[in-house]
Chain A
């Protein structure tokens, strides 16, 4: 059992060291949501009034509404980027070293997903701290309650990223992931607009948003941040995390990638 713990802590330490050494990664991960918060939200504040909706107790400005969505945006980008690099690295690079470990491959993959998710959680909290200074201040208790929610969402999105990268060869570059995964997941969710507003615009768009896993990820974090629990969002995120992880492990096979590649 100890061997598993040493292995996981080694993988986590490596991710943490890489995170500290590669400051540009942190900056680019933060610039994106901060731009949305400061520029996009300022522009849309006048156009979009947010009615009283759960979990908020009163009318809120638009900036307050989009913070959970932007926190999840960090998790989404990191999850996809991290998984993509796992696929790229599996034939050459650090994944080959990881896979020569005598510990079970499923454990190694889960450890890697968890370690990258924990680093993403750190980035989310740096973003929330900056948002706090900007004036968006959720209850202090909510900051603690949101921690497991953010971690669960980070893990779910990383597992989804790995699964998609295993299954679809065309996603082996980031432009493909942006166009076909990140943008649809993000825009067809409750990250930027509440679902009732979507429903006013179009019923089918509303349904697409309602079944989008990213909507449930955002709502889980939003509710937790305001000291509430969305049971539906929790159930969806837990179930999908397990499903995506299982499928990602089953489909992770470097040999498949080699056989698909024209030689």
Chain B
């Protein structure tokens, strides 16, 4: 069963189409990069996957649960880190995590056990009582990842999670999420970005351009005809569709 299956999804803001017949799947336990320039439709897709917007056409399935028909079961399986921080700056790291555990209906003792484990895994055990406001942007992102993984989801969505970080922190965060994915074979990751250097040859890659999926498959195979260069691969796929009819 796919971790995520998107089938024929289209979405429009009034007359303006944001997504057009988007179809792709995520292999369980894999790190998949969703690459697209700003305005490609990545955030709209995340809003649909998290039930913030209603799917207008097509269907999205998380671990086989349809967001249209079984939204609660689907939401229970996924975790999301949004582009803009959604932490309470005035609350401590631990309080932010406990709030999330409560939203998933977790008993207090169980929540505390998971908070302890997740903070240790993210290397944040020492900062648990610090107000989030006192953390740097990189650490705040880690807190958001810890929070997202608290309820044991099988699918982690990151919507341009590296925005606002300096290049070393960006790479560190990217590596950190990859290591989470590798160490936990049950976890699938969808990493959305517009930055080429966040994609590796071993990733599965989906290129989204002007609301359409223009390429989809293992990054290495996709890059092969273009001399193994992601920049040229990306340019090839996005330029070919630049004048495509709506």
A positions within 8 Å CB-CB of B: 2-4, 6-7, 9-11, 13-14, 17-18, 21-22, 90-94, 96-104, 108, 253-255, 258-259, 263
- Which residue of chain B is the closest to A99 with respect to CB atoms? B52
Tell me if A's interface is mostly helix, strand, loop or mixed. Answer: helix
Known: A102-B71, A103-B103. 4 other contacts (CB 8 A): A6-B108, A93-B84, A103-B105, A255-B52
Shortest CB distance A172–B (Å): 18
Contacts of B28 in A (CB 8 A): none
Within 8 A of A (CB), among B93-127: 95, 98-108, 111
Ordered by A's residue number, 20 sampled pairs between the chains whose C-beta atoms are within 8 Å are A3-B105, A3-B106, A6-B111, A7-B103, A7-B104, A10-B103, A17-B91, A17-B95, A92-B82, A93-B84, A96-B50, A96-B52, A96-B86, A99-B50, A102-B75, A104-B72, A254-B53, A255-B53, A258-B13, A263-B13
Chain B contact residues (Cβ within 8 angstroms of A): what range?
35 or more
Q: Are A94 and B88 in contact (CB under 8 A)?
A: yes
Q: Are B13 and A259 in contact (CB under 8 A)?
A: yes
Contacts of A108 in B (CB 8 A): 103
Q: Are A100 and B98 in contact (CB under 8 A)?
A: no
Q: What CA separation (Å) do A200 and B76 show in the bound complex?
A: 61
Contacts of A102 in B (CB 8 A): 71-73, 75-76, 104-105
Contacts of A101 in B (CB 8 A): 75, 103-104
Shortest CB distance B9–A (Å): 14
Tell me if B's interface is mostly helix, strand, loop or mixed. Answer: mixed
**What number of A-B contacts does a CB cutoff of 8 Å give?**
97
Contacts of A22 in B (CB 8 A): 90
One digit per residue, 1 when the CB lies within 8 angstroms of any chain A CB and 0 when it does not, for chain B 8-39 equals 00000110100000000000000000000000
Q: Are A254 and B52 in contact (CB under 8 A)?
A: yes
Q: Are B88 and A2 in contact (CB under 8 A)?
A: no
Q: What CA separation (Å) do A178 and B50 show in the bound complex?
A: 34
Q: Are B102 and A11 in contact (CB under 8 A)?
A: yes
Shortest CB distance B21–A (Å): 19
Q: Are A18 and B88 in contact (CB under 8 A)?
A: yes
Q: Are A263 and B103 in contact (CB under 8 A)?
A: no
Contact of A259 among B14, B51, B72, B90 (CB under 8 A): B14
Decide: A6 near B102, CB < 8 A? Known: A93-B84, A99-B51, A100-B51.
Answer: yes
Contacts of B82 in A (CB 8 A): 92, 96
